[in-house]
Chains A and B, each alone.
Chain A
């Protein structure tokens, strides 16, 4: 289950962008988005998902439960 950004809450502060180890985060039309395919939930890199840990607005970088869990490198 990759992370996603609730765009209505995003302040576009860009804090998450440079921290993502998979370069999954980019800016689109004034808000930041996560490319689900690239997100590994930070597994294998850090103990905590970086985007959620740095985001100043609680509940903005959240798990997208509609997608399957990240399986690790194949």
Chain B
């Protein structure tokens, strides 16, 4: 019993100290830059996180911002039924090129799902996590969900298991979750005030009947918070997802943040509402808008310090596979995996992961080195930069091929990941190059620079005219190291009067069809 209770105690202790950090953190890195190299490298990534928790999350692409450069996750769509209705969800709609939570093309049986996990883990050795997140609610489909976890634990014992739920049925399944050795659970909590809840959830199905309005929202919030407490009491890590809906729960999410933190949640992920009219959701149809990039960041910043904020969520679909912006779902259709010869090689996977760990350490060491050079300098300037990358923490993507940009905030304190922006327009053919470029500029319009492996002369000119500096000279270098180096040169240029520092405007979060990403 003590062994399970332990991590929770650690969370509380660390939080009480007000400095728990999951995400690779420049503050932790700076203060330790003089201590022995190796321990300081891993400490920089771990931050002040208790080792018990760090061990659980360090290879988890969704929980550790730093790990998501290196590890891949997959979802299997075994849970199509849902027990509530959200105004941002329409489970009827599924386009092959579209990607939203709650949407999936292919539903699997638990047996097919287990086979798929083995096939994917063999083809993509970076795979470290299997999640069940719907397309409905995993806990509204308890038989299928737990059967899948059981089968996967047998065929692929090194894969971490996690699930996402709306929380309504969660309290009834906490014992099974703990028995199945699921150590990460995500609960979507959008409100703790039933009046606000009534504007988000038209109905819930509970105890064999449909509840609506404030009564429905009250039951839902009580069950969500109860489930959260039960899980954290058992030492199961809980992440909270919240959808930011301007004018409905945007201010209120600060209170939600406090409520979930006090119940032991260790990470809070505030995501922008996706509400294009063509998705056919209630919000999409009644014109409810999503937040802009700066509104989202301001809310995330307001909640930071209370609890770790997750910034790298890509709101992936319930059957996404792969790493970063590179969704490989199409390679693993049921037809293809049934025909595949799968031999699960645990040893090869372990060796591969050891290599990945070396990669990570090299990256952290490079950042430390560059940070040491900026140490002691103070400047007010704080700006955003976009990076084209396909993983491993490197600037290794061509500007024209990037499906998304990672956004970093640079200051003399260091470099901090703040999010990503998708830019592809796959669903709509026939876009002229210029339109595409304009939409990319809109997506990163709040950035001062964009780091790329390569860029053509025409987009280069357009970016420069728009006030965004294209930076090619750090191609194939580690992102953070390069970003700090560029930032130093930027400050020098400002000081020498060569350039003038101006604030940038806001950016748009893409609302069109989304391509899935890790």
Q: Which residues from B are CB-within-8-Å of A50?
A: 208
Contact of B92 among A18, A48, A53, A57 (CB under 8 A): A57
A-B contact number at CB 8 A: 47
* Interface range on chain B (Cβ under 8 Å from partner): 10 to 19
Indicate if the CB atoms of B82 and A56 lie closer than 8 Å: yes
Known A56-B82, A56-B85: A11·B209 in contact at CB below 8 Å: no
Q: Which residues from B are CB-within-8-Å of A18?
A: 81, 143
When chains A and B are docked, how far (Å) is the Cα of A2 from the Cα of B366?
A: 69
When chains A and B are docked, how far (Å) is the Cα of A15 from the Cα of B203?
A: 15
Is there a chain B Cβ closer than 8 Å to A67's Cβ?
A: no
When chains A and B are docked, how far (Å) is the Cα of A3 from the Cα of B443?
A: 49
Indicate if the CB atoms of B81 and A14 lie closer than 8 Å: yes
Known A56-B85, A56-B91, A57-B92: A12·B80 in contact at CB below 8 Å: yes
Indicate if the CB atoms of B82 and A48 lie closer than 8 Å: no
Indicate if the CB atoms of A15 and B208 lie closer than 8 Å: no
B91, B143, B208: most-surrounded residue (chain A CB, <10 A)? B208
Q: Which residues from A are CB-within-8-Å of B208?
A: 19, 46-48, 50, 53
Is there a chain B Cβ closer than 8 Å to A6's Cβ?
A: no
When chains A and B are docked, how far (Å) is the Cα of A53 from the Cα of B85?
A: 11
Indicate if the CB atoms of A15 and B92 lie closer than 8 Å: no
Q: Which residues from A are CB-within-8-Å of B91?
A: 11, 13, 56-57
When chains A and B are docked, how far (Å) is the Cα of A47 from the Cα of B207?
A: 11
Q: Which residues from A are CB-within-8-Å of B92?
A: 9, 11, 56-57
Is there a chain B Cβ closer than 8 Å to A43's Cβ?
A: no
Indicate if the CB atoms of A54 and B80 lie closer than 8 Å: no
Shortest B227–chain A CB gap in Å is 20
Is there a chain A Cβ closer than 8 Å to B178's Cβ?
A: no
When chains A and B are docked, how far (Å) is the Cα of A12 from the Cα of B205?
A: 18
Indicate if the CB atoms of B81 and A53 lie closer than 8 Å: no
When chains A and B are docked, how far (Å) is the Cα of A46 from the Cα of B91?
A: 26
Is there a chain A Cβ closer than 8 Å to B501's Cβ?
A: no
Indicate if the CB atoms of B82 and A15 lie closer than 8 Å: yes
Indicate if the CB atoms of B136 and A53 lie closer than 8 Å: no
A9-57 residues at the B interface, CB under 8 angstroms: 9, 11-15, 18-19, 46-48, 50, 53-54, 56-57
Q: Which residues from A are CB-within-8-Å of B85?
A: 56
When chains A and B are docked, how far (Å) is the Cα of A54 from the Cα of B141?
A: 13
Indicate if the CB atoms of A15 and B140 lie closer than 8 Å: yes
When chains A and B are docked, how far (Å) is the Cα of A32 from the Cα of B387?
A: 47
Known A13-B80, A14-B80, A15-B83: A48·B209 in contact at CB below 8 Å: yes
Contact of A13 among B136, B143, B209 (CB under 8 A): B136
When chains A and B are docked, how far (Å) is the Cα of A57 from the Cα of B82?
A: 12
A12, A15, A50: most-surrounded residue (chain B CB, <10 A)? A15
Is there a chain A Cβ closer than 8 Å to B493's Cβ?
A: no
B251-300 residues at the A interface, CB under 8 angstroms: none
Indicate if the CB atoms of A53 and B205 lie closer than 8 Å: yes
When chains A and B are docked, how far (Å) is the Cα of A56 from the Cα of B141?
A: 15
Shortest B405–chain A CB gap in Å is 34
Known A56-B91, A57-B92: A47·B209 in contact at CB below 8 Å: yes
With A11-B91, A56-B85 known, 20 other A-B pairs at CB within 8 A are: A11-B92, A12-B80, A12-B107, A13-B91, A14-B81, A15-B81, A15-B205, A19-B208, A46-B209, A47-B208, A47-B209, A48-B208, A48-B209, A53-B208, A53-B209, A53-B210, A54-B210, A56-B91, A56-B92, A57-B92
Can you sample 6 A-B contacts with CB below 8 Å?
A: A12-B107, A15-B83, A18-B81, A53-B205, A56-B82, A56-B92
The 8 closest A-B pairs by CB, nearest first: A15-B81, A53-B210, A13-B80, A54-B205, A46-B208, A14-B81, A13-B81, A48-B209
